[in-house]
Chain A
Amino acid sequence: MITWHEFPYFAFASIIVWLVGIAAMYLPFTDTFKKAIVHISITSGIAAHLVFIVLFWTYIDRPPMRTLGETRLWYSLLIPIVGYLYYVRWRYNWVMAYSIMLSVVFMLINIFNPEIHDKTLMPALQSIWFVPHVIVYMFAYALLAVSCIIAIKGLVLLQFKKFNPEIIVVARSLVRAGFAFLTLGLLFGALWAKEAWGHYWTWDPKEVWALLTWLAYMLYLHATYYYPQKTKTQLWLLAIAFIVLLICWFGINYLATAQTSVHTYTQ
């Protein structure tokens, strides 16, 4: 039986192998040896976390996507996957290192401040849309988190006049994919709402903030398209858009406007 009580064992196992992998990237090993260590340790850390989620899912007998703690579980799985894919594709050590660091932070939050109220699945949540809606959103959030890391890195480099224009290319490709997932998440939510409540859009506070997040990244995509030379503005837009995303994800629980939302997880 796998519950939150067993989570720390899995989490620390993942964290340790990930740290080994990241350390290996920066140690003076031979190239083939280094590559082998990095690939094995990063993927096995992801695998360990995935195993926990699968076992936990089978044990609780419902998709673990109900509470904020459970969404963090997915986030800390998906961010390293994005980082790893970017490492494989672009050989970006630091993107992977940062994304794993972010994942570790979310794992530690779940270990030290677990939100483990048992939430049964109310009838409105029992839908075929539940899993795709949440997974697609979490994947979008993971991609956009990495784009935010890159934006901050870019802003720092600009400050020290060491800017590498490739940052813009990578950031935009991340947002392009992230925006596609964000759109799918939003529309899956709309189609689900129609099935559950009779309307695809009701201006629920979470919907308002999801729309705002979507518009922010839409603005970024159009701005980079038309004003490709305005690097600094682009990077700032990305950093700010991610703040909007964070408010949409969990800041909303603290807003006065959101007390009636169907999406608040804390009650």
Chain B
Amino acid sequence: MEEIFKSEKWGYRESTVITVALFLIGVLLQFAIPTIEIEKLKFPFSLAIALIFVNAIVLSYFGLKHARLIQWLASVPAAISSISLLGILTLAMGFIPQTNDASNNLLGIHNLLNTWYFIFAIVFFLITLGFVSLKRLVPFKWKNIGFILNHFGLWLAVFAGIIGNADITDVSISLQENRTSWIAFDKKKTPIQLPFTLKLLDFSMEEYAAKPLLIKPSNSKTETTIQAFIPNAKNDSLFALEGLQIKVQKRLMTAVFRKNTFVEFDTIGSCQAFLVSVYDTQQDTNYTGWISNGSNNEQPNMLTVSNNRTIALSTAEAKKFSSNVVITNINKEIDTVTIEVNKPYNMGLWSIYQYDYDTQKGRWSDVSVLQIVHDPWLILVYIGLAMVILGSIYLLFTRGSSNDNSKQSEQ
């Protein structure tokens, strides 16, 4: 015990030894107990762990302030060690494909997030970050504000994110048009009852204009986009490619094939069809015809030109899709909302996202899949992130602290 209370500080040599030891213990533990079920640490255990962790840091910091171990944990060498350990494990994650498949998973390298050594690394990171935040928080000085925003903010975001992970409800619900439902399913297909009901009024989707393609028979890379960087080929657009002058004469966004031609008709199974005329400048010949991208009901149509080349129309890409939904909550309050990709609907701690639809039916899908997320710890994470954002802005508008300053604070 005497040793630990000596004032001589631990440097990078001690830091390296401790970090490597920590990692090795994690590896051994991984070998002994290969499966960890972190996802079972839900509320109230998550809250208990959070309180114990914070208590342990605060009490040991103030109670054992002069202990060498505590001083070391609040020092830059410990920070460098924990950043390095986390960095090395992240590097491994960057090269080794991560799967949830349990087989052929020696020491958890294909599922690093759920290994003992990764948990040790992140806890080590949180401990050093926690101590160093406390060191500058108490006593509070305005000149430390940038440091506190960056360090304490990061600590709060990572801590709440990790502790709160098990408490996240992430489910999806498949809604049929005009039917009401409140049973969603999680990733393991377990049914979960929602505290509100959802009724899909309408699913709607907008498409981008399809792109004419030039297909050549000889080349292995067969497709060439003619319309590079023209998202909306207007009528009368003219393109030149490989000696061909291609003109879009007419563009129908919802077309059906009737009596040997395409006509505009917005119905289930309609497709996009362009009337194009092609002039071959080398052979001085003209071609005119319809190209279309087809659908469940319609055959795709192509136009053959010189040298066995054909002009086809690409499949249309989704521009926008959304669901019109009636939500009834437990208080019987009714709300009609539109939920779109990137525009979730928020209701207290619940967020509802547009997730999927019946891709076979595309625009005419009568099914919409919504993702529903409930994250009670999110507010803490966001407070942490907001602090780090302010801290970054602080970094931009101030000059770095001099080294004299750093030595002073190390003493």
Contacts and interface: CB of A to CB of B under 8 A. Distances in A.
**Looking at chain A's contact residues, is the secondary structure mostly helix, strand, loop, or mixed?**
helix
Contact of B373 (A116, A173, A198): A198
Nearest to B225: A118
A152 interface: no
A60 interface: yes
Contact of A208 (B94, B231, B399): B94
A183 interface: yes
B95 A255 contact: yes
A28 interface: no
Interface in B307-323: 317-321
Nearest to A206: B94
Instruction: Give the bracket for the number of chain B residues in contact with chain A.
Output: 35 or more
Contacts of B232: 61
B342 A225 contact: no
Interface string B152-171: 00000000010000000010
A266 interface: no
Contacts of A183: 388-389, 391-392, 395
Contacts of B87: 212, 215-216, 219
Interface in B63-120: 76-77, 79-80, 83-84, 86-87, 90-91, 93-98, 113
B142 interface: no
Interface-central residue, B342, B373, B388, by most chain A CB under 10 Å: B342
Contacts of A61: 231-232
Interface string A45-78: 0000000000000011110000000000000000
Contacts, number: 139
Q: How large is the interface on A (under 10, 10 to 19, 20 to 34, 35 or more residues)?
A: 35 or more
A106 to B, nearest CB: 19
Contacts of B230: 3, 60, 118
A34 interface: no
A198 B225 contact: no
A173 B402 CA distance: 12
A218 B395 contact: no
Contact of A225 (B86, B94, B95, B403): B403
A27 interface: no
B293 interface: no
A198 B351 contact: yes
A4 interface: yes
Interface of B: 76-77, 79-80, 83-84, 86-87, 90-91, 93-98, 113, 161, 170, 208, 211, 225, 227-232, 317-321, 340-344, 351, 353, 371, 373, 381, 385, 388-389, 391-393, 395-396, 399-401, 403, 406
Given A3-B229, A226-B80, 15 more contacts: A60-B231, A62-B231, A118-B211, A120-B319, A176-B395, A180-B396, A183-B395, A198-B371, A198-B373, A203-B98, A212-B94, A225-B403, A226-B406, A257-B93, A257-B97
12 contacts: A123-B341, A126-B341, A176-B395, A180-B396, A184-B389, A196-B341, A198-B373, A209-B94, A211-B90, A219-B84, A255-B94, A256-B97
